[in-house]
Amino acid sequence: MQILKVAGISPWLVVAPLRVAKLVWPDEIESWSDYSDLKYSIVHGTKKKREAALEKDADVYIINYEGLPWLHSTGWRKARGLVLDESTYVKSWKAKRTKALKSMLPDFKKRILLSATPMANCRSELFAQAFFMDDGETLGKTIGSFRRKYMMPGGYLGRGWIMRPDASKEVDARMAPSVYRLDAESNLDMPELIDNKVSIELPANLKKDYDQLEQEMFLELESGDPLLAESGGSKYSACRQFSSGAIYHTDEDTGEKSVVHLHDEKINTLKELDEAIPTPILVLYHFRHSRERIERAFPDCEVIAGGVKTEDVRGIIQRWQAGETKMLAAQIKAVGHGVDGLQKGEGGHDIVLFDQTDSGDLDTQSIGRIYRSGQDSNYVRIHRLVCKDTVDEMIYRSIKSKLKGQAAFDAAMKEYRESKAYSGSAK
């Protein structure tokens, strides 16, 4: 919060994910006595409400990333300081929000970017963030020049860009003078982190169906045909769903989508964990049908997901802190950024990953809802439900790899593919 009182810089524009903008920043401003005098205005809602919010006399104007194109279109140029919270939201150089923000940059005398995982997948994600910090002085003014200098074609089947082996250190050295890193484990009294892999077997009658689906996935991914590769990507998603217990099915004639239930192995394992763990449990899921099955199995569980109102999220967090919620199911994407407070009070210190996420950023951020400063327990446990001999295993290897981001995923995919050695498939 101290950054908002830099001498001569006022007002500030804070850009953040919606939940962070509506929940975290206002709560933090009000909770710190040294900064509670700051006047803030949340720029969100109907067009009339947004326009009214911009008209208010405030020290801090808070808007979500999706609102940037609209803000740019209004011609509003009042702010002199810029804060990008969860700055990976501008890592894509082609996104509308990025283009809008780029046009507004000359207005800001001071710019600060905040992120716990600024390069979760690859150092190339630093390019746009660095540009918004210093107009391209550190890493260049175009993504093309950055790639020519630091990268080469690569990735799975050579369809992407990867850092040259000798370039990562140079990028780190150029970024170092502009970066301040606060390592929680080194600077705070953090609890022990216990990462527990819970292996689950598919029912024998379904394993053959799963193997066929997975074999088709690899054949199409490795075909070299872009259309088939896209189909292989959808089969990869289907394999992930299969391991979790259900799968989306689209009727070829009507186009209607339905959910086909396959098994309850993960649900049954979650029930066993619930019986064994006396304190509240945070259950992280990815697929909507996973949430629906969790809610059926645990009718009293509460849910944080996309579409849940900010005031409702605040109430859920308060009940969790009071120890009144035995189980909280949270969509990984919804809870990964912008939900704070689950580590406090009488809430729990056990996390169950019902669905695996292959995003290193989301994995780290979602676990960080519990494993963070303010956690009173002397340990935090992560229970990863990993379906044996499925893509769950590959994702687990990727997340636990010493490599990072896309490189870790590519290596895990290759290793897993070679371990299966399907008869007749491409190698």
User: Does pLDDT of 338 surpass 50?
Assistant: yes
Q: Is 412 helix (H, G, I), strand (E, B) or coil?
A: helix
Burial 377-410 (b: 16+ CB within 10 A, else e): beebbbbbbbbebbbbbbbbbbbebeebbbbbbb
Percentages helix, strand, coil for the chain, rounded to the nearest 5?
45, 20, 35
Position 48 scores a pLDDT of: 95
What phi-psi label fits residue 150: left (phi over 0), alpha (psi between -120 and 50 degrees) or beta? alpha
Q: Which tops the pLDDT comparison, 14 or 402? A: 14
Residue 179 has pLDDT above 60, yes or no: yes
Mean pLDDT to the nearest integer, 14-18: 90
* Rounded mean pLDDT, 259-279: 93
pLDDT mean across residues, the chain: 86
Question: Which range, of 38-42, 200-204, 254-258, averages the lowest pLDDT?
Answer: 254-258
Average pLDDT over residues 318-331: 93
Percent of the chain whose pLDDT exceeds 90 = 48
Domains of the chain with bracketed CATH: 2-184 (3.40.50.10810), 192-420 (3.40.50.300)
